[in-house]
Amino acid sequence: MRTTRSHLIALLRAIGQQAGRLADELGRSEDWQYPSAVAIRAHALEYEHNLSTYLGRGSAPALASRLDRQAALCTRRLVPLKPLLHQAAVETLRVTSPAPPRRVFAIDRLSSPEPGRWRHASRADVLRLIFRTGT
């Protein structure tokens, strides 16, 4: 299934909001992970606002790698961000992957024949065609 850019933008926005909430909590308690939460929030907002730049020119794998690296750095209080960042990395690659090719079956070829062809095909002819081509 292909992911849309709007879905990826919403996911990055959710990461930014969650990181902001965590940064507020960590800042009040003067936790040493406060700068990490602020950095993750800033990166998520940067990716969200400039997504077309990050997905353009074949740089989507680099963005996915950055998101995955940030997820690996989420420890202790930042653990809730880890699955979101991993999901964003996967979705980034899905946005840019080409759609899978559509398989053409023998029945499809029969349902849209060329003019004058297969018009009077019997069931036996149809079955022969299917078993001959394997689909």
pLDDT tens profile 15-67: 999 999 999 999 999 989 999 999 999 999 999 998 888 887 778 888 888 88
Please tell me whether residues 67 and 88 are part of one structural domain. yes
Q: Which residues contact 97 (CB under 8 A, 6 or more apart)?
A: 2
Enclosing domain of residue 37 = 5-96
pLDDT at residue 16, rounded to an integer: 93
Domain count, the chain: 2
Please tell me whether residues 17 and 81 are part of one structural domain. yes
Please tell me whether residues 112 and 58 are part of one structural domain. no
Please tell me whether residues 66 and 132 are part of one structural domain. no
